[in-house]
Amino acid sequence: MELFELIKSARYCVALTGAGISTLSGIPDFRGGLPGELQRRFSPEVLNLYLSGLEELVPENKEARLVFPEKIFDSVRFEEDPAFFYKVAGLPIYRGIKKAEPSLVHQVLAKLVNRGLLQAIITQNIDMLHQKAQNHTNSRSPCRIIELHGSPAIHYCLHCPGIRIDYEKAAALFEAGELPLCPRCGRALKPNITFYGEMLPLEARRQAEEEAQAADLMLVLGTSLSVHPAADLPRTVLRRGGRIIIVNRQDTIVDENAALRLYELEETFTELNELLEAFPQSHLTYRPE
């Protein structure tokens, strides 16, 4: 399998993942049916997770469901009415994420990390499934998981420095019908997800660029590269003489530059998993100084 050979021969391999890998975990991909305005404002990775829980709330009105994201993800609206966010987004975030299990792609990437064949994962997803896959495999190998759009792993106060709670505590409060509140000022805590009107996390962007510059091979998985800065990362690899492999159903802006272009994630990673299970050797992990 050419994909496996390219991975084995790489000096420093990095994965860039998007919404497509989480559809295999039961999180729907809504990119084909969303108005262009919403697709320009919000990453598909964010829209997919939230919209997956909205049908239960307003199943009879598709148009109403498509209005919600703009209200949910607006940073000003959150400050004005945080209860609206938790009411509408609470189902997919605090129940959907808990129930979702890592897909075959998440699992195989975790195995590649364990074998020393994958050094970093850059994700546009906010579902924390890469971390869950790493935990399931009891990974001891060092691997950066860089979340370009943040995640609900941490909730923090917009006004009081240092006030933070973790996902488990926020989820427990949601299930109890309560908002996570700042013990200092009493305002609602916000999940560390990038909302409309906010900058992407600067540290995550810096780390992602650092990994792209170090990589001689990047796996581009389940993303059409329609959102920046993720769309720029494969080009960084190419400019520095590296290679990219793309596995995604939709076309991407760098298809013609790919060393290998595949389309079906499940089929590809099923075969890769079988080869990986039969491959006993591990590679030494390389980390540039």
Q: Which of 138, 168, 175 is nearest to 153 (CA)?
A: 168
Confidence at residue 241, expressed as pLDDT on a 0 to 100 scale: 97
| Domain end marker among 193, 225, 255 | 193
User: Is 54's pLDDT higher than 60?
Assistant: no
Q: What is the CATH number of the domain that holds 258?
A: 3.40.50.1220
**Statement: residue 119 has pLDDT above 60:** yes
CATH number of the domain residue 175 falls in: 3.30.1600.10
Specify if 88 maps to a domain: yes
More confident residue, 243 or 85: 243
Give tens-digit pLDDT for 155-191: 999 999 999 999 999 999 999 999 999 999 999 999 9
Q: Are residues 41 and 184 in the same domain?
A: yes
pLDDT tens, position by position, 207-219: 999 999 999 999 9
Q: Which domain covers residue 214, as residue numbers?
A: 2-25+102-149+200-277
Task: Note whether 36 and 164 are same-domain residues.
Answer: yes
Tokens describing residue 74: 């607006």
Q: Which positions are catalytic?
A: 149
pLDDT value at 132 more than 90: yes
In the chain, the number of structural domains is 2
pTM, 2 dp: 0.84
Q: What average pLDDT does this structure show over 2-22?
A: 95
pLDDT grade for 35, boundaries at 50, 70 and 90 = very low
- 94 and 213 in a single domain? The answer is no
Residue 36 has pLDDT above 60, yes or no: no
Average pLDDT over the chain, rounded to an integer:
84
Same domain, 118 and 218: yes
Q: What is residue 55's predicted lDDT score, i.e. its pLDDT?
A: 43
Q: How confident is the model at residue 45 (pLDDT cuts 50, 70, 90)?
A: low
**Residue 130 and residue 39 share a domain:** no
Q: Is residue 14 part of a domain?
A: yes
Q: Per-residue pLDDT averaged across 258-273, rounded?
A: 97
The model's confidence at residue 284, banded by pLDDT at 50, 70 and 90, is very low
